[in-house]
Amino acid sequence: MGDHETSMLLAQLRSASTYPEQTAALRLLKNEIVGHTQKKELWVVAGVLEPIVRILSASNPPSKLNGNDARFGTNTARTVTEEEEAVRLQAVQALSTIASGGPPFLPPLYATGAISAILATLSPFTNSPYVVYASLRALSVIADAATVAPPGSPFDLQVLADTANLISRLCRDANHRLALSKANGVLDALATRLASFVVAEGLVIPVAEWARKGDADVLEHIPAPAPSHAKIGPILHALATIISDSRYRAFMLLTSPAILAVLPVTQFIPAPAVRAAWQSTGLSGVPSGESLSAMDYLLPPMPIQRGARRPRRKSVSVESRERKSGLVTSTHEQVHSESYGQVVESQSGEGEVPESPLIPYLIYLSRSSDDLVRLMAIAVLTPLVKADFVTKPGRETMIATLIVPTLTQLIRDHLEKQCTKDSRFVVDAATMETWEILELAPVLLARLILDHEALQQAAFDCKAIETLSKLLQEAYKPAISTQPKMWSPNPGTGMDMDESSAACRLGQAGALPLLMHRIRLRESALKAIASSLAKEDYRKAFVELDTVPYVIESLSQYPGKPLQAKERPRRQEKSEEDAPAIPKPGYGENPTPVIIGACHVVRMLSRSVSILRTALVDYEVFIPMLKFLRHPNVDVQIAATAVMANLVTDVSPMREALLDEGIMRILCEHTRSSNPSLRLNALWALKHLVYEVGPSLKKAVVEELTTGLLVRLICDDTEDKALISSRGAGDSPSFGSEVGDMDEDVDMQQSEEPKGFVFGSTTTGPPQDTGRGRSRYMEDKLARYRESELDPVRKARNDDLAIQEQGLDLIRNLITGTRNEVIGHNTPSETTEMVDFIFAELGQDRLFNILEAKLRPKYIRPFSRRNSGRRELAHESKVIYPQAKLIEIVIYVLVHIAASVPRHRQLVIAQTKMLKQLSAHFNNKEKDVRSALCQLVTNLTWQDDQDDATGCSQRAQELKKLGFLAKLEALQDDDPELDVRERAKGALWQMKRPY
């Protein structure tokens, strides 16, 4: 199209007054610019966006019509003509075509309000499916461009996510996920779509309506089969995004009415022929049919690992109440034809939610579909596993045998297929799918195996570390950073340019897709590697793969070619270090998540003493870590401080260099941060810093911290104040003498809420329905999960408890003397000096009062029960029991005080109230607490010399009066732990021996 025709078309767009004229002009424009980035630039600079947005906005219905919202299909909404639909379709497609040019087109689209005009066409009540689909595609294209936009772009992902909530692409934080879980039933709607695929595959659990006779509305929730052309992958991806990192939202998915209707929790007894085939495998340890659901028979049999313990998440108060009440259900049995088998109702076990058949269905999908669907099925399964909803015997073996190898193989297969041509600027659909799998699979693997020893071993056996190392190395292959400017035979254009308007000014070009893909690969690979290095053998295998240089390069904002330690320049002078960093062509810029991921890998590697003293020293990792402690992003500071906790240990050769650089002062500053995670990591690092050092450095740490701050860190129970204020002012917390070993909130009065059914199990009467398809029990449980997860008071308490633990551990290390290899234990003189110093700084009585307070349960009133109208329930108490770990630390502080001179032991024995509190913990369920008590008795009854014989005898008698002797004898005879029995034996010998 020549300059004259171009000017004519632009004039036609601006002057067109009828729908046919506008449609014709928009179609010509779309055909002119499609696939030609240079033409898009010329048209945008000429000002074509404003008339397109004006035409689209004018064709949309008003948002309010007679007081009603016309976009949502009210009776007063006017009928949309075919001509209006045609104009909208062409306008949206034209905007989508322009947006496909990439980041430079985002600023003018933002300036003209294009996003608002597109959003107005999303309603299916006032737009045809073609227009809605085109609008969604346009938003998706804009989102893709925003992912590679340079920092500072006005059209970034956060703006889009707040505006459009494009789920799988833009749902980036917990606030968006929470909004989608409750707003307009988005999560339930997606679950219904997933259930429609179950129906279409013919996998609805047989006679579900028979087993659910008590719920007359179940059949209404069974959706129609999904169309044959529908794709399950996007549904799974959206669901995985919403329920990620949330037990509350995961339970919402499991209890969605459509999921319960098609996949009820029932015990399945197969037909005799099926049962015989299952038993013919002859595998030892295969679970019996009584524990299997119908979906389990679609999967291969897996043996149960005898004696293996499934990792349990930390208990909360509501779960404790449920364990005590025990949700009892009746057994109901129905017989069906042998072609399907027999269905009987299961009894829900105490203390945990029975496993939903959705779990084996997702495992089934991960084995029987194309690669992307397999990955998305695992993406939904992973948060369910982490939320502890995978409970059946043998399921851990199944995940370790089927899911972990699948993820590893997906990475391996697509890494081999990945296109490495740096000259490609347009990526086809197959390459995009490969990239998506390579970017997501390592992240899922990292989440799945994190803190799970059996799954980490499975990943190691699958050579996951080797595969992930190759992936990280692939991510550092240089790529072309910017797209070359397109050649044009004409120096200019005949169109009038109005570059003064924001709608006509192009933005900065973003990175090319291949480079952005490799940067995202770095992040995902580093996350997976960090989760895979829990054991020494795993760390050693990783170092032998020669991938450490790539991790070190990931600590740089502007990385370059990874070099071996001997090839890297040594530490430079200060003047040279302060020189501004320059981006290196082909490697891009590492964003904050990549740097944080590299910090996590370094932290895991630094747990190995041999690696800490070799590879990490050779690469001088303490230099970037010191810089990150002052990073403007607090998340980077948190990650770097976590690394410092390992770099300042007594076995680290970098400790002296860090002390010379002022690490002690920096860590003390971080303990004053308003961020609880940064305070926690700083205290953790200080705790390691003062271990095995002389009294002078320890005293300097206390002076830098100041006494007031140290006291606040170990005893400022801000969470209790917040709890009181949130429940209503009036009564102050009172403390009792009862003790326990749970760190959880427990209602003093047992719950009287009616017992309902769990998922598909029936009771003697039908469950009360809330009107939304969930039973009253499910709604109550959802509310409890929500409170446990989102309650700021509970979160504040957990943060405070963690900080107090580390603060007390810091005091414990402060009063511990350095180890004397000649005498075989800590130097007594140093211990005595530091105990006197701490008593002088904190106050002897105040320190003992703080320690005693940590051992007492706290009763807080008032605490009104939810949905209770009875006045007398307004005065219920809430008891907060001390945490076992906190009790252990308190005991060891006393142990080290008692390891000093006799006068310090006399001070401890004089704390009668505290010793009474401790005596109740001899039957604590945590063996470390029982073992610490034995050590305390041993130290208190220790005799330094003959002059201490009388005092030692008096201390032993005082302990006998408090009942310590009888409880030690019980430990010696009955404790299941050998270590505890041996320690109790030694303590008893000292108490009974003649003085």
What is the predicted pLDDT for the residue at 798? 86
Tokens of 204: 């609805």
Distance CA(378)–CA(404), nearest Å, equals 10
Q: What is the pLDDT of residue 194?
A: 93
Q: Which helix (H) or strand (E) holds 810?
A: helix 792-814
With beta carbons less than 8 A apart as the criterion, state whether 442 and 411 touch. Answer: yes
Give the C-alpha separation, 317 to 181, whole Å.
Answer: 24
SS3 309: coil
Could you report the per-residue pLDDT of 643-675, keeping only the tens digit for each?
Answer: 999 999 999 999 999 999 999 999 999 999 999
Place of tokens 């050998």: 978
In a domain, 739, yes or no: no
Residues 446, 530: contact at Cβ < 8 Å?
A: yes
d(CA 993, CA 995): 6
Tell how far CA 10 is from the center of its chain: 51
- Are residues 518 and 650 located together in one domain of the fold? no
- How many Cα atoms sit within 13 Å of 910 on the Cβ side? 12
DSSP H or E stretch at residue 65? strand 64-65
Cβ atoms within 10 A of the Cβ of 925, count? Answer: 11
Q: Is residue 341 part of a domain?
A: no
CA–CA distances in Å: residue 959 to residues 325, 590, 844: 38, 61, 21
Out of 336, 368, 387, a domain closes at 387
Interval 240-266 mean pLDDT: 89
Helix (H, G, I), strand (E, B) or coil at 904: helix
Which stretch, 670-679, 706-715, 880-889, has highest mean pLDDT?
670-679
Nearest alpha carbon to residue 360 among 319, 318, 402, 313: 402
pLDDT bin (cut points 50, 70, 90) of residue 507 is low
pLDDT (0 to 100) of residue 195? 93
pLDDT bin (cut points 50, 70, 90) of residue 380 is very high
Query: In this predicted model, what pLDDT tens digit does every residue of 96-140 receive, in sequence order?
Result: 999 888 888 888 888 888 888 888 887 777 788 888 888 888 888
**pLDDT tens digits, 559-595:** 999 998 888 876 654 444 455 567 788 898 999 999 9
The 8-class DSSP code of residue 203 comes to -
457 and 521, same domain (yes or no): yes
Residues 47 and 28 in one domain: yes
Phi, psi of 747 (to 5 degrees): -70, 135
- Ranking 357-361, 822-826, 966-970 by mean pLDDT, the lowest is 822-826
For the stretch 890-938, pLDDT in tens is: 999 999 999 999 999 999 999 999 999 999 999 999 999 999 999 999 9
Beta pairing partners, 64: 69
| pLDDT at residue 322 tops 50 | no
**Statement to judge: residues 10 and 38 lie in one domain:** yes
If we measure between CA atoms, which residue out of 190, 162, 189, 186 comes closest to residue 176?
Answer: 162
137 & 190 share domain:
no
Q: Say if 769 falls within a structural domain.
A: no
Averaged pLDDT of the chain: 78
DSSP string covering 942-971? ---SGGGHHHHHHHHHHHHHTTHHHHHHHH
Strands, E assignment, 736-844: 745-747, 819-820, 825-826
Instruction: Report which of residues 994 and 455 the model is more confident about.
Output: 455
Helix (H, G, I), strand (E, B) or coil at 204: coil
614 with 624, same domain: the answer is: no
pLDDT bracket for residue 7 (50, 70, 90)? confident
For the cut 60, the answer to whether the pLDDT of residue 755 exceeds it is no
Last residue of a domain, one of 619, 645, 662: 619
- Structural contact between residues 348 and 392, judged by C-beta atoms closer than 8 angstroms: no
**Of the residues 126, 149, 172, the one at which a domain ends:** 149
Instruction: Determine the 3-state secondary structure of 432 from DSSP.
Output: helix
* pLDDT value of position 363: 95
In a domain, 731, yes or no: no
Q: What are phi and psi of 734, to 5 degrees?
A: -115, 150
State how beta strands 819-820 and 878-880 pair: unpaired
Q: Does residue 606 contact residue 647 with C-beta atoms inside 8 Å?
A: yes
Give the residues across from 825 on adjacent strands: 820
At residue 737, does pLDDT exceed 60?
no
* Paired sense of beta strands 267-269 and 333-334, if any: unpaired
Predicted local distance difference test score (pLDDT) of residue 352:
62
pLDDT given at position 748: 29
Per the rule left: phi > 0, alpha: psi between -120 and 50, beta: everything else, 824 is left
Per-residue pLDDT at 624: 95
Q: Whole-angstrom Cα distance, residue 599 to residue 522? A: 13
Tell me the CATH number at 608. 1.25.10.10
Pair (123, 50) in one structural domain? yes
Q: What is the mean pLDDT of residues 855-881?
A: 58
Question: Which of the listed ranges 59-63, 153-157, 605-609 does the model predict with the highest average pLDDT?
Answer: 605-609
Residue 502 within a domain: no
CA 268 to CA 372: how far, in whole Å?
A: 31
The DSSP code for 864 is P
Q: How far is CA 771 from the centre of its chain?
A: 32
Helix (H, G, I), strand (E, B) or coil at 68: strand
Q: What are phi and psi of 859, to 5 degrees?
A: -105, 120
> Higher pLDDT residue, 276 or 407?
407
Confidence of residue 143 (pLDDT cuts 50, 70, 90): confident
**Average pLDDT for 199-204:** 91
In the predicted structure, residue 960 carries a pLDDT above the cut 90: yes
Specify whether 380 is located in the same domain as 402. no
Confidence of residue 189 (pLDDT cuts 50, 70, 90): confident
Radius of gyration of the chain (CA): 33
661 and 699 together in one domain: yes
Q: Under a CB-based contact definition with an 8 Å cutoff, are residues 709 and 811 in contact?
A: no
Q: Which of these, 941, 923, 934, lies nearest to 985 by C-alpha position?
A: 934
Strands (DSSP E) found in 861-946 = 878-880
Query: Of the candidates 747, 764, 744, 748, which has an alpha carbon nearest to the alpha carbon of residue 756?
Result: 764
Q: Identify the residue with better confidence: 418 or 501.
A: 418
DSSP letters, 341-410, are -EEEPPPPPTTSPPPPTHHHHHHHHHHHS-HHHHHHHHHHHHHHHHTT---STTHHHHIIIIIHHHHHHH
Q: In the predicted model, is pLDDT for residue 545 greater than 50? A: yes
* pLDDT digits 0-9 by tens, 257-272: 899 889 988 766 666 6
Q: Are 749 and 321 in contact (CB under 8 A)?
A: no
- At residue 276, φ and ψ (nearest 5 deg) are -65, -40
Q: Scanning the structure block, which residue is given the tokens 């109230």? A: 913
The count of structural domains within the chain is 5
At 690-714, the pLDDT tens digits run: 999 999 999 999 999 999 999 999 9
Looking at 736-846, which runs of residues are DSSP E strands? Answer: 745-747, 819-820, 825-826
Confidence class for position 37, pLDDT limits 50, 70, 90: confident
Q: Label residue 384 by pLDDT band (50, 70, 90).
A: very high
Same domain flag for 229 and 108: no
The answer to whether residue 868 scores a pLDDT higher than 70 is no
In a domain, 230, yes or no: yes
Kindly state whether residues 558 and 409 are assigned to the same domain: yes
Q: Are 901 and 839 in contact (CB under 8 A)?
A: no
Instruction: Supply the pLDDT for residue 741.
Output: 35
For 214, other C-beta atoms within 10 Å of its C-beta total: 18
Q: How confident is the model at residue 71 (pLDDT cuts 50, 70, 90)?
A: very low
Go through the chain and tell me how many residues it has. 995
Task: Tell me the two tokens of residue 100.
Answer: 């496909």
3-state secondary structure of 847: helix
Other Cβ atoms within 10 Å of 871 Cβ, number:
8
- Output the pLDDT for position 82: 86
DSSP code of residue 610: H
d(CA 395, CA 302): 8
My answer on whether 466 and 536 are in the same domain is: yes
Q: DSSP state, 291?
A: G
Greater pLDDT, 247 or 728: 247
3-state secondary structure at position 683: helix
Question: Would you state the structure tokens that stand for residue 852, as one six-digit string?
Answer: 């005693």
Return the pLDDT at 489: 58
Q: Is 273 part of any domain?
A: no
- Look at residues 791, 790, 760 and name the one whose alpha carbon lies nearest to residue 778: 760
Structural domain containing residue 113: 1-61+81-149
Question: Cα angle vertex 266, ends 454, 226, to 5°?
Answer: 90
Report residue 724's pLDDT band, with 50, 70 and 90 as the boundaries.
Answer: very low
Pairing status of strand 819-820 against strand 825-826: antiparallel
145-149, 507-511, 598-602: range with highest mean pLDDT: 598-602
pLDDT at residue 72, rounded to an integer: 43
Confidence tier at 727 by pLDDT (50, 70, 90): very low
Classify residue 70 by its DSSP letter. G
Average pLDDT over residues 843-872: 71
Candidate from 69-73, 496-500, 537-541, 568-572 with smallest mean pLDDT:
69-73
Evaluate if residue 350 carries a pLDDT over 80: no
Whole-structure pTM value: 0.80
For the ranges 717-721, 771-775, 796-800, 963-967, the lowest mean pLDDT is seen at 717-721
Distance CA 163, CA 766 (A): 42
Q: How confident is the model at residue 977 (pLDDT cuts 50, 70, 90)?
A: very high
Give the pLDDT score at 45. Answer: 86
Asked if residue 921 belongs to a domain, the reply is: yes
